[in-house]
Amino acid sequence: MARHGGRGWYGRVLAAAVGVTAMAAATSVWSAQAGPVDAGKAGAGASARPSAAGAAPARVSVDIAHASDHGARGVNITIDDGPDPEWTPQVLQVLRENGVKATFCMVGTQAQAHPDLVKAVVADGHRLCDHTVSHDTAMDTKADSYQSQQILDAERMITEASGGVRPMYYRAPGGAFTPYSRDLAASRGMRPLGWNVDTKDFERPGTAAIVATVKAEVSNGPTVLFHDAGGDRSQTVAALREVLPWLREQDYSFGFPVR
């Protein structure tokens, strides 16, 4: 998995994360439902349902997920680094227009700053993913205690911002997984989540280039990586408008990563 370097925005995220209490994961009164949701078939709030208060999350596989719960012709749309007040609503609108459910990998401080957007993501039937507190792409070189703080504090921030809906996945920034971080996430009910198609939209190569990457590489695997924060994401929004109908024309369906 390629690492994304040179992101000045993450310096600001890291600064915002200073002082976050380590090991402060909270237990939610909700749990996310794991059943597959096809395009347009889930209503608002379909990504979560109540569970017993204080219920511990069930352990999931430590293996990094790439496959789709919709099988060989399934595609998983994943959106990283938000939520962002300018771009997340636009991404949500495009997904809504195309009847597509996606997985949003959220940075803890972003979720904490924009709880209304986290709730909007959940209300539209999308799933949540823990993308750490400060998006440190060198996490795999850091101590276990640091990895714990990054993962568990982000889990708490996202769950609180959502109104009690837990993240169902954990995506390491830049793919910086370790055996420890994978096991910790899995013990919290968050399946480690990889990707097959890196659209490179973060580099703003142009809408046509983003679309071309998806068309050329989707046969490599179903999980496609986009971003809704960290800068101007207008190319991403425009690319999604083209890519989603094209994928359906190619007889792909839209699902979630396997759990």
Tell me the pLDDT of the chain (259 aa) as tens digits: 445 443 444 444 444 444 443 333 333 323 333 333 333 333 333 343 333 334 668 999 999 999 999 999 999 999 999 999 999 999 999 999 999 999 999 999 999 999 999 999 999 999 999 999 999 999 999 999 999 999 999 999 999 999 999 999 999 999 999 999 999 999 999 999 999 999 999 999 999 999 999 999 999 999 999 999 999 999 999 999 999 999 999 999 999 999 9
Distances (CA, A) of 225 to 17, 175, 190, 197: 24, 12, 18, 6
Residue 26: predicted pLDDT = 34
227 part of the active site? yes
Name 193's bridge partners: 65
Instruction: Report if pTM > 0.95.
Output: no
66 part of the active site? no
| From 4, 69, 80, 114, the catalytic residue | 80
Distance CA 194, CA 174 (A): 10
